[in-house]
Structure 1
Amino acid sequence: MFEVGFTELLLVAVVALLVLGPERLPVAARTLGRGLGQARRAMNALRAQVEREIDLPALDSAPLQKLEQDLRQGIRLEAEPANDAAAPLAAKLPAKEGVS
């Protein structure tokens, strides 16, 4: 992924030594090492979880397809278009007289 050679690592080490100083460099290196270790463990755990999920047996899709079919049949309603839906409601309401 990243091609890092010895000279690049040496350059980073020298810059870190100049920026942090000899007193804080070991603490920073230890903290960086711990963070990288935690990240590596988290990635391994995530990879293991994904592999476990992939290895699960396939679900039997027949019951799910039957349920979907039953739901679709239950949803099918013979409804009137929206424009005609207001007409029966208007017919049931009493007409008000004297309103212009």
Structure 2
Amino acid sequence: MFDIGFSEIFVIAVVALLVLGPERLPKAARFAGLWVRRARAQWYSVKSELENELADEELRRSLRQTQADLREAQESLRNQIHDSRDSLQRELREAERSVEALDGKPADAATAEPTALPAPTAPAHDDERR
């Protein structure tokens, strides 16, 4: 902070002794010490408050960045879901067209009329297996 050496402190002490005298010097030293302690306490308080505010601001900045990243990821997921849905719908339409082409009738008509499946037949050699 301040670059005060021993020689400067000695000069200040000699001047204080000459100006104040030996009776008032101890009281003045205590008073000066009290003010130095108060100044240091105030300095540490301000320093601590500044550090806390900087930490709070850094945390807020980090939270805003995280929120932006989450919104970006959410939008990306929405786009992927829409793309997948569109792709599946395209595949479904292509499959319906393929069924239409195989049956020779529209896909809606094929799904509207249920077709009966043939009943399963028993194997011809069922008696021989037992």
Task: State the TM-score bracket (shorter-chain normalisation).
Answer: 0.5 to 0.7
SS in 1 for 2:4: coil
Counterpart-to-counterpart distance in 2, 1:43 and 1:27: 24
Gaps of 5+ in 1: 63-100
Number of equivalent positions: 62
Corresponding letter in the other structure for 1:58: R
Q: In terms of Rg, which structure is larger?
A: 2
Gaps of 5+ in 2: 68-130
Give CA-to-partner distance per residue, 1:65-99, whole Å, 9 cap, x none.
xxxxxxxxxxxxxxxxxxxxxxxxxxxxxxxxxxx
1:29 equivalent in structure 2: 29
Name the % identity: 44
Counterpart-to-counterpart distance in 1, 2:14 and 2:7: 11
Deviation at residue 2 of structure 1 after TM alignment: 3.1
Q: Summarize the alignment of residues 1-100 of structure 1 with structure 2, pairs less than 5 Å apart.
A: 1-56=1-56, 57-58=59-60, 60=64
**Structure with higher RCO (Cα < 8 A, 6+ apart):** 1
Output the TM-score relative to the length of structure 1.
0.55
Counterpart-to-counterpart distance in 1, 2:42 and 2:2: 20
Cα RMSD over matched residues?
A: 1.9
